[in-house]
Amino acid sequence: MATPLGVFGTGNPHKVAELIDLFAPAGVTWKLLTDFPDAIEVDETGTTFAENARIKASTYATRLRHWVLAEDAGLAVDALGGEPGVYSARFAGEPRDDGRNIQKLLELLKDVPPEKRSARFVCHMVLADPQGQVQAEAEGCCHGRITFAPRGNQGFGYDPVFEILEYHRTLAELGLAVKGCLSHRARAARLILPEIVRLVDSGLWTP
């Protein structure tokens, strides 16, 4: 029997590295968007992580005629009313730059005391079949707070300023192994993985 094929609907190499590890037990051979020369960039027009993830999964799936796992993720800071939210990657404008995003965030929070710097990372994952129909979705959150300065160099995005309170370390200080257990992406993956396994085992996921 042919091995089921799927596509990770992201062009972000950091996310791809995480997803490959998280979904290794799925029994699926995963391809990347870079494997498809005609893959288009999807306009993320949704106002929530869930809407954007559904848009990406369905659009890529119908375009590529494959099962696609897509996600939308970002940072929600309570003192900023949930911002930057779906605009996390381009918080400081285009071109997207992690350093400028962090700089803007810290500037906005410069007068906010530690006890009011609570934040959460959110990841919404969606699996769509080759016809673009959503077959499974899940959302994971990771709670913490924003530090006053970046710490650590393992990670990407806002990891250097996102502190996990129980560890007194930022995600960039804790490293990829710990992040693979605690992150919003890891939590969402653990929730959606059983649905993927069910689809594969039932024979509904055809190559």
- 207 part of a folded domain: no
Per-residue pLDDT at 142: 96
- Whether residue 72 lies in the annotated active site: yes
Instruction: Label the pairing between strands 29-32 and 5-8.
Output: parallel
- 61 part of a folded domain: yes
Per-residue pLDDT at 157: 93
Q: Checking phi first, is residue 88 left (phi over 0); if not, alpha (psi -120 to 50) or beta? A: alpha
pLDDT tens digits for 57-116? 999 999 999 999 999 999 999 999 999 999 999 999 999 899 999 999 999 999 999 999
Per-residue pLDDT at 13: 83
Distance (Å, rounded) from C-alpha 168 to C-alpha 185? 20
What CATH number does residue 99 fall under? Answer: 3.90.950.10
- 79 part of a folded domain: yes
Q: Count the domains in the chain.
A: 1
HSE toward the beta carbon, residue 7, CA cutoff 13 A: 26
- 137 part of a folded domain: yes
pLDDT tens digits for 163-174? 999 999 999 999
Partners of 164 in the β-ladder: 169
Please provide the DSSP assignment of 104-164 as one string: HHHHHTTT--GGG-EEEEEEEEEEE-TTS-EEEEEEEEEEEEE-SS---SSS-TTGGGEEE
Whole-number CA gyration radius for the chain:
17
HSE toward the beta carbon, residue 142, CA cutoff 13 A: 28
- The one catalytic residue in 35, 38, 43, 72 is 72
**Encoded tokens for 53:** 């993830």
Domain housing 86: 5-202
Closest to 29 (Cα-Cα) out of 5, 52, 47: 5
Split at pLDDT 50, 70, 90, the class of 207 is low
pTM: 0.93
- 69 part of a folded domain: yes
Q: Are 86 and 46 in contact (CB under 8 A)?
A: yes
pLDDT tens digits for 11-67? 888 788 889 989 988 989 999 998 998 777 888 889 999 999 999 999 999 999 999
Distance (Å, rounded) from C-alpha 183 to C-alpha 168? 15
Is residue 187 classed as helix, strand or coil in its secondary structure?
helix
Q: Which strands sit side by side in the sheet containing 162-164, from one edge to the other?
A: 29-32, 5-8, 67-77, 118-128, 134-146, 162-164, 169-170
Distance (Å, rounded) from C-alpha 71 to C-alpha 95? 21
Closest to 58 (Cα-Cα) out of 47, 72, 45, 70: 70
Mean pLDDT over the full length of the chain: 93
Asked if pLDDT for residue 1 goes beyond 60, the answer is no
